Amino acid sequence: MDLARAGVRPLTAPRADLHLHSTASDGTLPPEAVVARSAAAGLAVIALTDHDTLAGLAAAVAAGERLGVRVVGGCEFSVSAPWGEMHLLGYFLPAADAALDGLLRRQRADRERRAGEMAERLRRHGLPVSDDAVRRVAGGGALGRPHLARVLLETGVVATVDEAFERWLRRGRPGFVPKVLPTLAEVAEVVHAAGGIVSAAHLKERGTRGALEQFLPLGLDAVEVRHPSHSPELEARLLGHARALGLVPSGGSDWHGEIADGTHGALGSSAVPLDWLDALEARRPA
């Protein structure tokens, strides 16, 4: 039955959560489970945006077809920024593109190098962090600091993931090693050539009009205005900048699965209306 024609309207308009992680990177649930949880949360569309990999996409798309959730191919890139590092969300990415795959492979290799160096630093501080434990916790996913945090948690060095970051893993703490970062322009060029767009993720207070003006000629298409770390005031401010500069607004929860930490939202908590998704899609290169 066509519910709309029958005069039945859903209680809430369909929504899209455009920032989600799975075990393909530092999330705790496999891609299929992320999609199942999204369906249960009533989301019409999600973007799987694992760090530096598209490895979860095929399984997520297949699950989405079974469960009636549209899955947009996405990825979260770490790039250099005037203040150090920022994150870019790529959207409408194909599962296979030679240049994109090459870039992602390089970044994942750098994550392996860096995870090894971080574990080594933690060991020098007397902490029981073996390379094997990091690999086991990551389960083949693109390696990141959350995996090191979980090893510290399971060995009892810390009581929470937040404590692991605060004491050991944050920039400036003993375990921190930086990633080698591509530039925004480099990533935007590769993503555009693959038919996708790039959005600046969770800029928080860095999302000034001046910063966005600087990013625009480098290829930025969109801004994640809605994110669990953004207050309603900040969201309104970012939305104003986006509208003024012709950047498309976006949003998502940055959900990493069942993991207790203070930086990520509940699934669907920062979801956006589907006409925001349409505007993102209209921004794709011809």
- Structure token digits, residue 99: 């240049």
Residue 270: helix, strand or coil by DSSP? coil
Sign of the alpha-carbon dihedral angle for 215, 99, 182, 79:
positive
Question: Residue count at the site for Fe ion (CB under 5 A)?
Answer: 3
Residue number, 38 or 78, with CB nearest to ligand AMP? 78
Q: Which residue is nearest to ligand AMP (CB)?
A: 144
Q: Which stretch binds Zn ion (CB under 5 A): 56-64, 166-174, 251-259, 270-278?
A: 251-259
Closest to ligand AMP by CB, 44 vs 184, is 184
Residues 24-43 that bind ligand AMP (CB under 6 A): 26
Residue 235 touching ligand AMP (CB under 6 A)? no
Q: What is the 3-state secondary structure (H, E, C) of 27-50?
A: CCCCHHHHHHHHHHCCCCEEEECC
Contact 132, 145 (CB under 8 A): no
Name the one residue in this structure whose structure tokens are 């250099």: 80
Q: Least distance (Å) from Zn ion to the CB of residue 89?
A: 8
Q: What would the x/- binding string for ligand AMP be over residues 75 to 114, using CB under 6 A?
A: ---x------------------------------------
Q: Across the beta sheet with 248-251, what order do the strands follow?
A: 248-251, 222-226, 197-200, 84-91, 70-81, 45-48, 15-20, 272-273
Closest approach, Cβ 161 to Fe ion, in A, equals 11
Length of the chain: 286
Find how far residue 271's CA is from the centre of its chain: 14
Nearer to Zn ion, 121 or 256 (CB): 256
Q: Which residues bind ligand AMP (CB under 6 A)?
A: 26, 51, 78, 144-146, 161-162, 165, 256, 261, 263
- The residues of the shown chain that bind Zn ion, judged by CB under 5 A, are 76, 254
Residues that bind Fe ion (CB under 5 A): 26, 87, 201
